[in-house]
């Protein structure tokens, strides 16, 4: 079974109907059908939520529920291995803390990382699934 971790940009592209949204929708469909195992760090989930909440708090709640119903697994920052890995990634690369958590989650769970067009993920040694160029 394919295992994928989602970066914030990919989820927001889906919700905003941006380029690559169709790819993400197909992946979410696979997660719903249990053909794909999907993950998102709670740090990235909080980023999705606050961006949507700025637009409409009700929309943020609805989209959070959608992600739960899709079957996406929310990965908490309880394991020292996860936050330490995120810190190591952040210390050596020029990317946001949320991006470091997405990368660390993918690395720790040994998944591909679903990203938008983020070039900052290159060179991390993590397999990427880019939704757009």
What's the rounded mean pLDDT across residues 110-115?
96
pLDDT tens track for 36-50: 999 999 999 999 999
What's the rounded mean pLDDT across residues 20-48?
97
The domain 2-118 is classified under which CATH number: 3.40.50.11540, 2.40.50.140, 3.40.50.1010, 3.40.50.300? Answer: 3.40.50.1010
Annotated domain spans of the chain: 2-118
Q: How far is residue 66's CA from residue 69's CA, in Å, rounded to a whole number? A: 5
Inform me whether the pLDDT recorded for 113 exceeds 90.
yes
- Read off the pLDDT band of 79 (50, 70, 90): low
Inform me whether the pLDDT recorded for 105 exceeds 70.
yes
Tell me, what's the pLDDT at 93?
87
**Listed residue (4, 35, 34) closest to 106, CA to CA:** 4
Q: What residues contact residue 43 under an 8 Å CB cut-off, 6+ apart? A: 77, 86, 97, 98, 101, 102
- Helix/strand number for the chain, H first, E second: 6, 5
Q: What residues contact residue 69 under an 8 Å CB cut-off, 6+ apart? A: 32
- In whole numbers, what is the pLDDT of the chain averaged over residues? 93
C-beta separation of 100 from 89 below 8 A: yes
Q: What size, in residues, is the chain? A: 133
Tell me, what's the pLDDT at 48?
97
The C-alpha angle with vertex 77 and arms to 74 and 80, in degrees rounded to 5, equals 140
**Listed residue (34, 43, 35, 32) closest to 6, CA to CA:** 43
- Read off the pLDDT band of 78 (50, 70, 90): confident
């Amino acid at each position: 079974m394919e295992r994928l971790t989602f970066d914030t940009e990919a989820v927001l592209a889906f919700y905003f109907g941006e380029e690559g949204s169709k790819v993400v929708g197909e992946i979410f469909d696979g997660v719903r059908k249990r053909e794909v195992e999907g993950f998102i760090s709670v740090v990235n989930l909080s980023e999705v939520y606050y961006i949507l909440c700025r637009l409409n708090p009700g929309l943020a709640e609805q989209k959070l529920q959608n992600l739960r119903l899709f079957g996406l697994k929310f990965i908490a920052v309880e394991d020292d291995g996860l936050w330490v890995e995120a810190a190591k990634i952040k210390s050596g690369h020029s990317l946001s803390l949320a991006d470091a958590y997405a990368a660390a989650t993918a690395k720790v769970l040994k998944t591909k990382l679903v990203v938008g067009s983020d070039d900052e993920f290159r060179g991390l040694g993590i397999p990427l699934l880019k939704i757009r160029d």
